[in-house]
Amino acid sequence: MTALAATPPLPESEEPAPTWRWKQADKPVKITVIAGSVGAFSGQSFHKRLGGVCENVEIRNLSKTGIGALQMKQRFRGQVLKNRNIKLSDEQFEHWAFVATGLNSIGMPEMTNHYVKGLVELAHSKGMKALVLSPTPWGKDGLSKFKGLSGLAKAEATRIVVDYVMGRNHPKDALGRYAAKRSVEGDVDWVASEIVDIGIDLYDSQLRDKDAEPRDVDAMRRLFEKDRAWKKAHADLDPDAYEAALAADAQRASEVPQWFMRPELRGFDYIHPNSEGHRVIAQVTCPSLPESWGCACDEL
């Protein structure tokens, strides 16, 4: 998986027509999981673990390795909303879209937010609710792509997505140029259809290596002092404000390793959680789930 590249769009016509259907009439909460490789994990994934402790839910996993935010939206529309075997209007059931935002399109966070928001809007338009997990911590020291200031740039891109999931940023900051594609006019705050019903912050959770050794602050400061783009962006600041910005950014850059995933929770690389990591995801998520799911979170 290329963590900072957008996956080419998959034409919806190439998706096979959905044939799946709900099978457990005694499970009133119907959940469709939409994710990339984190949801496609073949072991004891976070959603399998939640399904094991939430007695009222029936889960259908529609995750697919390698897909980014656009493809998740396409897959949701094609496999859920266009599925004639599913009656979303049936009021005896409670329908949820369970989305895990991954890293396949994290290099373009505003675009990622645009398509995740689009998925949320589609779900709401059909009476469904949306539970969205933020990206997990990721990265590793010693790799060229995380050296110098590049690690901070990746962390900042990730936070833009995290902040949308958690409702912390304004549409202009979350969407960038994609804000012009909103269904509402003007520079206004989020409307109800765009807002995630339950957002889970996995980035700042027990998954991250918050006790990792920080990088040298002075070394980070020297990198910023030599960086043409940073100096140009801050050229209009007065000396005191310039110094404050330099100190703040150097401090944040030094803390980058503390936003990587804990080594013991990593799978085969610095991105994917292992089985224990999935257990932690389930543990972090479970307390925020609605009572209707019937979850016994202590069993996790």
* Domain match, 154 and 234 both: no
* Domain match, 224 and 248 both: yes
* Domain match, 205 and 73 both: yes
Answer whether residue 167 is part of any domain. yes
* Domain match, 266 and 248 both: no
Give the DSSP per-residue string, the chain.
Answer: --TTSPPPPPPGGGSPPP------TT--EEEEEEESHHHH-SSS-HHHHHHHHBTTEEEEE---TT--HHHHHHHHIIIIIT-TT--TT-TTSEEEEEEE--STTTTSHHHHHHHHHHHHHHHHHTT-EEEEEPPPP---TTSGGGSTTHHHHHHHHHHHHHHHHTT-S-HHHHHGGGGGGSSS-SS----GGGS-SEEE--TTSTTB-TTSPPPPHHHHHHHHHH-HHHHHHTTTS-HHHHHHHHHHHHHHHHTGGGGSBPGGGB-SSSSSB-HHHHHHHHHHHGGGS-GGG-B-GGG-
* Domain match, 219 and 102 both: no
Number of domains the chain contains: 2
* Domain match, 99 and 157 both: yes
* pLDDT level of residue 17 (50, 70, 90 thresholds): confident
| CATH code, domain carrying 151 | 3.40.50.1110
* Domain match, 227 and 135 both: no
* Domain match, 21 and 136 both: yes
Mean per-residue pLDDT over the chain, rounded: 94
Higher confidence at residue 215 or residue 12?
A: 215
Domain span including residue 228: 215-254
* Domain match, 48 and 61 both: yes
pTM confidence score: 0.93
* Domain match, 185 and 223 both: no
* Domain match, 172 and 231 both: no
pLDDT at residue 277 greater than cutoff 80: yes
* Domain match, 98 and 167 both: yes
pLDDT tens digits, 56-109: 999 999 999 999 999 999 999 999 999 999 999 999 999 999 999 989 999 999
